[in-house]
Amino acid sequence: MKIVGHLDHAAADELREPAAALALRPGRRPVVDLGGTEYRDSGGTTALLVVRDHAIAADADVALAAVPDHTMGVPQVVGPEHVFALHPGGEAADRH
């Protein structure tokens, strides 16, 4: 899954809806590629946590990839770097 543009409160449903439709299998780790994200606020971070909760309910996990440095302020404040596996790029992430 790739996010482009703003990931904020207004756009959070655009992430949650397709994520909820993912057919997750136990042990899998889908990747959310944030390389195209220009801005993320706490609403966007909350949406990422909802996606992770959905994955955990299926005995799976979620990784974040290509997280732009300019969007790291919110995660450092709320702490998802302790919740998500972080990968430098979408292609390098372990998808299973």
13-31 pLDDT tens trace: 888 788 888 888 999 998 8
Residues 6+ away with beta carbon under 8 Å from 72: none
Confidence of residue 91 (pLDDT cuts 50, 70, 90): low
Q: What is the pLDDT of residues 30-86, one digit of tens each?
A: 888 999 999 888 888 888 888 899 999 999 998 989 988 877 665 454 555 667 777
Residue 6 and residue 39: Cα distance in Å, rounded? 5
Tokens of 80: 């998802």
The model's pTM = 0.74
Q: Provide the pLDDT confidence category of residue 92 given band limits of 50, 70 and 90.
A: very low
- Could you tell me which residues are beta bridge partners of residue 64? 32, 86
